[in-house]
């Protein structure tokens, strides 16, 4: 079948157009393909790490490589910095070691000084004892005192509290010629003043304000707060006047040269003067006279050492003065002193069966701890007054009490009569009635062994503390009659003929007045 020429021509033109379109379309696709790969946007879930890495690659490619000289210089800088850092660390290490060495050296030197000081006290004690003049002393008593003192640095005074006869003074230099802080033994003076000024009632309670302890337990356990409370109402001036009444602040009158009178505070109202004895200085001999006056009815004896046979044979007692105050004022102090020996601060050191009454003291004075125990026995008819004072880092009043306890035990036979019965038959009114339970007693047992203030807080064996608030001093307290101080030595006993019955407690010689 033959086609028309127009139709053939139209088909040819259409075929050429299709070829042209196909060729142009393929060329366009080739050009657009690389453009799509470079401008392709990241998907939402695809991170931008590739873009960042590409930037880094571009930056890296843009940084020129270091030369060999620059690499060596950088390495040298790093080496120097490392050396400097190591040197600084080594310097710090050496400084720390040096500081530690200095601290250890300082500790060793302090320990050496302390040890040398302790040795010095003991050496001084031994030298002083070797230099003592024992003429006129009772050698049995002296031997017992030296044995009891042992290796402690200290001094011992033993005398007859009713006559003033010195039985022995071990380390006379410390007992007579030097004075020391009285520590808690000053509470005897505070108690005496408080009773006479009606600041302490006869049942032992503080009249101005209630306190968890009475006088007996406060003395037995050496409670600082109780006596600071009493002292704050008393005042420093009155405290000093009562201390002088009891013989402090003046020599006792012992027939030995070089006796010091100690000192009393001047214009000091600090609460510690009533509890710790701050600004007071006393000799152990003065304390022996003080506790003797408490036990013998208020006679302030003059201690004497009979040197010769004639003096021994004719020995008699003398007193400086009679304390002209109600007898029950001094007697009221005794139960607390008995309590210290039976259940208080001295209970582990003495035999309470011997009816010892005493007061411990522990404080820091003159560069070391001071331990004190001033005592008499038996309290109903006192035959011996024993005062022990020790010095050293480990010394306390309870250890001084143990030394005194050893002396009493060695001289036990002197506290007995022919039948072997002890003289000590404690009257009912002198037996302390403790209001402190066993648990609180255990807590208070070592309460004195410090040199800190006490704010009056007292344990009662229950949960919590009973705290007493500070008390203001009384305005113009009414002074009590104290009597005139008679400095002249007067006979201790009036002229009497001694009977056989009296030989137990009285001198054998008929007493005559001394001119």
pLDDT digit string, tens, across residues 176-221: 999 999 999 999 999 999 999 999 999 999 998 888 889 999 999 9
pLDDT score of 46: 53
Element (H, E) at 166: strand 166-170
pLDDT score of 437: 61
pLDDT score of 156: 98
pLDDT band at 5 (very low <50, low <70, confident <90, very high): low
Bigger pLDDT: 229 vs 56: 229
Contact call for residues 346 and 358 (beta carbons, < 8 A): yes
Q: What is the mean pLDDT of residues 429-444?
A: 63
Cβ contacts of 420 within 8 Å, gap of 6 or more: none
Beta bridge partners of 359: 374
CA distance 451 to 224: 10
pLDDT score of 63: 58
Instruction: Quote the tokens at residue 101.
Output: 């060495």
- Asked if residue 418 has pLDDT above 70, the reply is no
Contact call for residues 392 and 153 (beta carbons, < 8 A): yes
- If 0-12 CB within 10 Å is exposed, 13-18 middle and 19+ buried, where does residue 374 land? buried
Q: How far from 128 is each of 152, 182, 208, 392, CA to CA, in Å?
A: 13, 21, 48, 16
- Asked if residue 453 has pLDDT above 70, the reply is no
Sole residue written with tokens 């120097």: 80
pLDDT band at 470 (very low <50, low <70, confident <90, very high): very low
pLDDT band at 21 (very low <50, low <70, confident <90, very high): confident
- Asked if residue 40 has pLDDT above 80, the reply is no
pLDDT band at 43 (very low <50, low <70, confident <90, very high): low
- Asked if residue 473 has pLDDT above 80, the reply is no
Average pLDDT, the chain: 80
pLDDT score of 99: 92
Q: How far from 251 is each of 177, 278, 293, CA to CA, in Å?
A: 10, 20, 15
What is the phi/psi pair of residue 320, to 5°?
Answer: -75, -40
Find the angle CA(354)-CA(247)-CA(340) to the nearest 5 degrees: 30
Q: pLDDT digits over 71-83, tens only? A: 888 888 888 899 9
pLDDT score of 461: 36
CA dihedral 342, 427, 387, 218 (to 10 degrees): 50
pLDDT score of 212: 87
Domains identified in the chain and CATH numbers: 131-504 (3.40.710.10)
- Asked if residue 503 has pLDDT above 50, the reply is no
pLDDT score of 278: 94
pLDDT score of 472: 36
- Asked if residue 469 has pLDDT above 50, the reply is no
Instruction: Quote the tokens at residue 236.
Output: 């420093």
Instruction: Quote the tokens at residue 387.
Output: 């005062």
Instruction: Quote the tokens at residue 261.
Output: 């009178």
Size (the chain), residues: 515
Lowest mean pLDDT among 40-54, 213-227, 370-384: 40-54
Max CA separation in the chain (angstroms):
194
Give the residue among 28, 34, 52, 429 at the shortest CA–CA distance from 204.
Answer: 429
CA distance 299 to 297: 6
- Asked if residue 272 has pLDDT above 50, the reply is yes
Indicate the pTM of the whole model: 0.70
pLDDT band at 53 (very low <50, low <70, confident <90, very high): low
pLDDT score of 356: 94
Q: pLDDT digits over 83-135, tens only? A: 999 999 999 999 999 999 999 999 988 888 888 888 899 999 999 999 999 99
% of residues, the chain, pLDDT over 90: 52
Q: What is the DSSP letter of 299?
A: E
Beta bridge partners of 466: 458
Pairing of strands 357-365, 318-322: unpaired
Q: What is the mean pLDDT of residues 53-65?
A: 57
% of residues, the chain, pLDDT over 70: 71
Sole residue written with tokens 């405290």: 239
Bigger pLDDT: 63 vs 301: 301
Output the CA torsion sign for 216, 217, 223, 229: negative
Helix (H, G, I), strand (E, B) or coil at 336: helix
Q: What is the 3-state secondary structure (H, E, C) of 171-208?
A: CHHHHHHCCECCHHHHHHHHHHHHHHCCCECCCCCECC
- Asked if residue 342 has pLDDT above 70, the reply is yes
CA 113 and chain centroid, separation: 20
Output the CA torsion sign for 473, 477, 483, 484: positive
Number of Cβ within 10 Å of residue 498's Cβ equals 14
- Asked if residue 231 has pLDDT above 90, the reply is yes
Sole residue written with tokens 């006393």: 282
Q: What is the DSSP letter of 433?
A: -
pLDDT band at 60 (very low <50, low <70, confident <90, very high): low
CA distance 225 to 61: 87
pLDDT score of 361: 96
CA distance 337 to 376: 9
Omega before 309 cis (within 30°)? no
Element (H, E) at 364: strand 357-365
Number of Cβ within 10 Å of residue 409's Cβ equals 13
Choose the most confident range, by mean pLDDT, from 11-20, 417-426, 473-482: 11-20
Q: In what order do the strands lie in the sheet with 299-301?
A: 299-301, 318-322, 490-491
What is the phi/psi pair of residue 508, to 5°?
Answer: -80, -20
């Amino acid at each position: 079948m033959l086609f028309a020429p127009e139709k053939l021509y139209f088909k040819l033109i259409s075929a050429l157009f299709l070829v042209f379109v196909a060729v142009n379309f393929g060329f366009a696709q080739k050009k657009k393909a690389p453009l799509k790969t470079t401008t392709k946007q990241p998907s939402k879930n695809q991170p931008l790490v590739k873009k960042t890495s590409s930037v880094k690659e571009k930056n890296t490619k843009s940084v020129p490589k270091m030369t060999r000289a620059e690499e060596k210089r950088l390495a040298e800088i790093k080496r120097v910095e490392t050396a400097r850092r190591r040197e600084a660390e080594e310097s710090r290490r050496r400084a720390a070691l040096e500081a530690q060495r200095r601290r250890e050296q300082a500790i060793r030197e302090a320990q050496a000084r302390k040890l040398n000081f302790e040795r010095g006290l003991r050496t001084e004690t031994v030298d002083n004892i070797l230099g003592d003049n024992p003429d006129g002393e009772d050698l049995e008593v002296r031997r017992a005192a030296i044995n009891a003192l042992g290796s402690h640095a200290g001094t011992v005074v033993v005398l007859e509290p009713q006559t003033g006869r010195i039985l022995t003074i071990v380390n006379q230099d410390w007992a007579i010629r030097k004075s020391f802080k009285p520590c808690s033994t000053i509470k005897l003076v505070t108690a005496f003043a408080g009773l006479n000024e009606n600041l302490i009632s006869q049942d032992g309670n503080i009249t101005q304000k209630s306190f968890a302890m009475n006088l007996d337990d406060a003395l037995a356990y050496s409670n600082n707060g109780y006596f600071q409370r009493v002292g704050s109402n008393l005042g420093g001036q009155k405290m000093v006047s009562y201390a002088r009444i009891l013989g402090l602040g003046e020599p006792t009158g012992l027939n030995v040269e070089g006796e010091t009178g100690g000192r009393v505070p001047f214009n000091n109202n600090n609460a510690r003067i009533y509890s710790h004895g701050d600004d007071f200085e006393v000799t152990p001999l003065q304390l022996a006279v003080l506790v003797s006056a408490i036990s013998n009815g208020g006679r302030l004896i003059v201690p004497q050492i009979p040197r010769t046979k004639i003096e021994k044979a004719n020995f008699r007692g003398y007193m400086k003065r009679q304390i002209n105050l109600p007898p029950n004022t001094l007697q009221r102090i005794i139960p607390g002193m008995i309590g210290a020996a039976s259940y208080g601060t001295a209970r582990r050191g003495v035999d309470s069966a011997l009816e010892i009454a005493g007061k411990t003291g522990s404080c820091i004075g003159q560069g070391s701890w001071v331990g004190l125990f001033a005592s008499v026995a038996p309290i109903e008819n006192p035959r011996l007054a024993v005062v022990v004072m020790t010095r050293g880092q480990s010394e306390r009043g309870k250890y001084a009490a143990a030394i005194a306890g050893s002396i009493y035990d060695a001289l036990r036979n002197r506290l007995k009569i022919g039948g072997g019965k002890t003289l000590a038959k404690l009257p009912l009114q002198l037996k302390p009635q403790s209001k402190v339970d066993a648990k609180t007693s255990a807590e208070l047992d070592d309460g004195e062994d410090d040199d800190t203030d006490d704010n009056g807080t007292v344990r009662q064996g229950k949960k919590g503390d009973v705290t007493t608030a500070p008390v203001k001093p009384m305005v113009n307290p009414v002074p009590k009659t104290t009597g005139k101080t008679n400095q002249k030595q007067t006979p201790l006993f009036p002229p009497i003929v001694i009977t056989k019955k009296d030989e137990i407690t009285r001198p054998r010689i008929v007493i005559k007045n001394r001119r």
